[in-house]
Chains A and B, each alone.
Chain A
Amino acid sequence: MGFIERLNESVKGLKIDSEIEVSPSIEKVLGLLDALLQTKAEIPPVDNALSRFGNPAFVTFYDKAAEMIPELLKPIVPNDSIPEISAYLVESFGNRRRIDYGTGHEANFIAFLLCLEKLGVISSRDYTAAVLRVFVKYMSLMRELQFSYWLEPAGSHGVWGLDDYHFLPFMFGSAQLIDHKYIRPKSIHDPDIIEQFSKSYMYLGCIAFINSVKNTASLRWHSPMLDDISAAKSWAKVNGGMIKMYKAEVLNKLPIMQHFMFGTLIKFEGGSTVENEDEGCGHDHHHSVEVDKDGKEVYAMGQEHPECCGIPIPSAIAAAAAGQSRRPIPFD
């Protein structure tokens, strides 16, 4: 979270197209994203008749990206960190099986950037470029993927959340608009301002995108949270609120963080306590091991170490993670 806040600080009051210093490392990362954009362009959506919703071409893209990324990372990061970093980057495009995307996947992209910082590939001088160039390019890639491949909103909160897919462009975007002379939070309702400034300011770019996709109703109806936020007094307030909300609604929410991968670069620290209703967890603490027809033990994700609610995740997992490049935390 500290990393995200530092990134957030670095873009206060800045337009996307501001003149900023772009280091060679950042250039390389941009090149990597460009290569992926190119790849995406070469994988058009396929006939969707057999699919439930998402387009199977996404799987093709995902697999190609997973193949390309370790190679593309070679000039950027040390070899032994490539497996971990690749994992974060590939996960930041969505879930391969479910063909969906949500704020958890977005968080993986930040994890990717954080790894680059931990390895010294980027430094605090690169923060502004990391957001205004790299993250913005990631957003444009994601929009392409969402639009063409019909990615399902993963774990969307519907009208009770900010957006079906993203959070950070709203956070960084609100930082950008702090102290703007005339664009106010309520300006998101002004189509002229959106049209003029959506390319310069992420927040407005998001609104423009949402309006173009959710075109059966007005913003007030399909995105009441964004509508409510537009009543805030200043972008500084909006930005502050975004940070609080991100902590509470993304980082502190089990359905998202249960999927987050920990490894040697981003370590899992401490236990986890699940907030339960005062009545007690009401869980059935009775576990049995399931076997399939071959007698092989079958586990759902994370159930290799079945624990009950409220019990801290054993540090053995963090230790074991050091020996593997990816290790999901158990579903609890």
Chain B
Amino acid sequence: MGSSDLDRQIEQLRQCEIITENEVKTLCQKAREILAEESNVQKIDAPVTICGDIHGQFYDLKELFKVGGECPDTNYLFMGDFVDRGFYSVETFLLLLALKVRYPDRITLIRGNHESRQITQVYGFYDECLRKYGSVNVWRYCCEVFDHLALSAIIDNKIFCVHGGLSPSINTIDQIRSIDRKLEVPHDGAMCDLLWSDPDDIEGWGLSPRGAGYLFGGDVVQSFLHNNDLNLIARAHQLVMEGYKLLFNDTIVTVWSAPNYCYRCGNVAAILELNDNLESNYKIFDAAVGVEARGAGLRKRAPDYFL
């Protein structure tokens, strides 16, 4: 697939227009090749801008790029949960994927708990693929890509980035490297925990009310940072009213990039800009306005249950 072909696809996706099923197939193949080479803990050099959950909110992703700068002018790390819940999971994920294939060293994508077959069948991505393409092939191709996504990233060996959080099975970064990640997100174990856990106001580890992963306290974060010579853990996975939230004496931050989540939460979104010296700057942004008119009328009929 030529670079100009890819550029054309990127332009199309930027207009929130889907590419053909065959183009998706090729794009996903190419993406898998690139992602397969990445480590479970992908190394990134600063400067880079860290982003949290997007959940198919395509027009808000455009806002994000306006605020943070277009890729590849700005380096990006997206911490997963690209799909489900929003209208445009397909366009969102394919745009990010196309950017990854076009500028592999300028954008890093790691896996969220929603990048999973089981979850996407419940929370919308599967349905969206079916609606927009009339078949499940695109969903299948994307799930295969999900399996290849790195589990985490590390910036200048100092900032550890993961979608959910820590795992009681993992004390060192090296242990993460030895996980076999190229599979569907398991229901338990280290790989599951990294994508599902949450920091909480407790000591040590606790049962997670989500039913997967764990809760972990400030002491756990402290040990992990110390054992691995890190300064900060950046993660996403939880809605934050102010877009981002620092916890445990600023040793861990939750970054959330889906503004006005579900059209009701009224939250703002955030991105975390790190400069060459790893100094942080949080940028906040609101939901895109006036997007209604642009909504493609893809659902003109009553859902199958009601016919």
Chain A interface residues (CB < 8 Å from chain B): 48, 51-53, 95-98, 150, 152-153, 155-161, 164, 213-214, 216-218, 220-222, 224-225, 227-229, 231-232, 237-238, 240-242, 244-245, 248, 253-255, 258-259, 274, 277, 281-284, 286-288, 290-293, 298-303, 306, 308-309, 328, 331-332
Given contacts A229-B302, A301-B208, contact A53 B240 (CB under 8 A): yes
**What A residues does B124 contact at CB under 8 A?**
157-161
Residue of A nearest to B144 (CB): A279
For the complex, give the distance between the alpha carbons of A48 and B265 in Å. Answer: 14
Given contacts A97-B209, A157-B122, contact A229 B186 (CB under 8 A): no
Near A by CB (< 8 A), chain B positions 145-191 give 147, 167-169, 180, 183-184, 186-189, 191
- Contacts A158-B85, A300-B193 given; 13 further ones with Cβ under 8 A? A52-B240, A53-B241, A152-B265, A153-B262, A159-B124, A160-B123, A160-B124, A282-B147, A291-B168, A300-B207, A301-B208, A301-B211, A332-B187
Contact with A along B195-211 (1 / 0, CB 8 A): 00000100011011111
For the complex, give the distance between the alpha carbons of A281 and B212 in Å. Answer: 17
> Would you mind naming 19 contact pairs between A and B with Cβ atoms under 8 Å apart?
A51-B241, A52-B241, A53-B265, A150-B241, A155-B123, A157-B85, A157-B123, A160-B84, A164-B262, A216-B260, A229-B302, A240-B306, A242-B305, A282-B183, A284-B180, A290-B168, A298-B205, A298-B214, A309-B187
Q: Is the interface of A mostly helix, strand, loop or mixed?
A: loop
**What A residues does B260 contact at CB under 8 A?**
216
Given contacts A282-B184, A283-B187, A298-B214, contact A158 B117 (CB under 8 A): no
Residue of A nearest to B289 (CB): A216
Tell whether, in the assembled complex, residue A258 and residue B264 are in contact, meaning their CB atoms are under 8 Å apart. no
Residue of B nearest to A217 (CB): B292
For the complex, give the distance between the alpha carbons of A96 and B85 in Å. Answer: 23
Nearest CB of chain B from residue A209's CB, rounded to whole Å: 10
**What B residues does A217 contact at CB under 8 A?**
263, 291-292
Nearest CB of chain B from residue A78's CB, rounded to whole Å: 30
For the complex, give the distance between the alpha carbons of A300 and B207 in Å. Answer: 5
For the complex, give the distance between the alpha carbons of A254 and B211 in Å. Answer: 10
Residues of B in contact, count (CB < 8 Å): 64
**What A residues does B167 contact at CB under 8 A?**
290
Nearest CB of chain A from residue B88's CB, rounded to whole Å: 9
Residue of B nearest to A249 (CB): B122
Tell whether, in the assembled complex, residue A53 and residue B239 are in contact, meaning their CB atoms are under 8 Å apart. yes
B245 CB within 8 Å of chain A: yes
**What A residues does B186 contact at CB under 8 A?**
283-284
Chain B interface residues (CB < 8 Å from chain A): 55-56, 84-87, 117-119, 122-124, 127-128, 143, 147, 167-169, 180, 183-184, 186-189, 191, 193, 200, 204-205, 207-215, 238-241, 245, 254, 260, 262-265, 267, 287, 291-292, 295, 299-303, 305-307
Q: Which among B188, B189, B306 is the interface contact of A229 at CB below 8 angstroms?
A: B306
For the complex, give the distance between the alpha carbons of A6 and B300 in Å. Answer: 32
Tell whether, in the assembled complex, residue A300 and residue B213 are in contact, meaning their CB atoms are under 8 Å apart. yes
Tell whether, in the assembled complex, residue B302 and residue A245 are in contact, meaning their CB atoms are under 8 Å apart. no
Given contacts A160-B128, A287-B188, A306-B188, contact A244 B305 (CB under 8 A): yes
**What A residues does B210 contact at CB under 8 A?**
98
**What B residues does A299 contact at CB under 8 A?**
207
Given contacts A52-B240, A217-B292, A293-B204, contact A98 B209 (CB under 8 A): yes
Nearest CB of chain B from residue A144's CB, rounded to whole Å: 16
Q: Which among B119, B169, B299, B301 is the interface contact of A290 at CB below 8 angstroms?
A: B169
Tell whether, in the assembled complex, residue B299 and residue A224 are in contact, meaning their CB atoms are under 8 Å apart. yes
Tell whether, in the assembled complex, residue B212 and residue A48 are in contact, meaning their CB atoms are under 8 Å apart. no
Q: Which among A248, A292, A306 is the interface contact of B205 at CB below 8 angstroms?
A: A292
For the complex, give the distance between the alpha carbons of A225 and B124 in Å. Answer: 12
For the complex, give the distance between the alpha carbons of A232 and B299 in Å. Answer: 13
Residue of B nearest to A230 (CB): B302
Tell whether, in the assembled complex, residue B263 and residue A222 are in contact, meaning their CB atoms are under 8 Å apart. yes
Q: Which among A255, A292, A293 is the interface contact of B211 at CB below 8 angstroms?
A: A255
Tell whether, in the assembled complex, residue B168 and residue A229 are in contact, meaning their CB atoms are under 8 Å apart. no
**What B residues does A97 contact at CB under 8 A?**
200, 209, 215
Residue of A nearest to B118 (CB): A254
Residue of B nearest to A146 (CB): B264
Identify which of A160, A248, A301 gathers the most chain B CB atoms within 10 Å of its CB.
Answer: A160
**What A residues does B127 contact at CB under 8 A?**
160
For the complex, give the distance between the alpha carbons of A238 and B262 in Å. Answer: 24
Residue of A nearest to B88 (CB): A159
Q: Which among A150, A291, A331 is the interface contact of B188 at CB below 8 angstroms?
A: A331
For the complex, give the distance between the alpha carbons of A55 and B148 in Å. Answer: 38
Tell whether, in the assembled complex, residue A241 and residue B305 are in contact, meaning their CB atoms are under 8 Å apart. yes
Residue of B nearest to A283 (CB): B186
For the complex, give the distance between the alpha carbons of A309 and B116 in Å. Answer: 14
For the complex, give the distance between the alpha carbons of A306 and B187 in Å. Answer: 10
Q: Which among A48, A153, A292 is the interface contact of B264 at CB below 8 angstroms?
A: A153
Tell whether, in the assembled complex, residue A158 and residue B205 are in contact, meaning their CB atoms are under 8 Å apart. no
Given contacts A158-B56, A159-B86, contact A259 B211 (CB under 8 A): yes
Residue of B nearest to A252 (CB): B122
Residue of A nearest to B297 (CB): A220
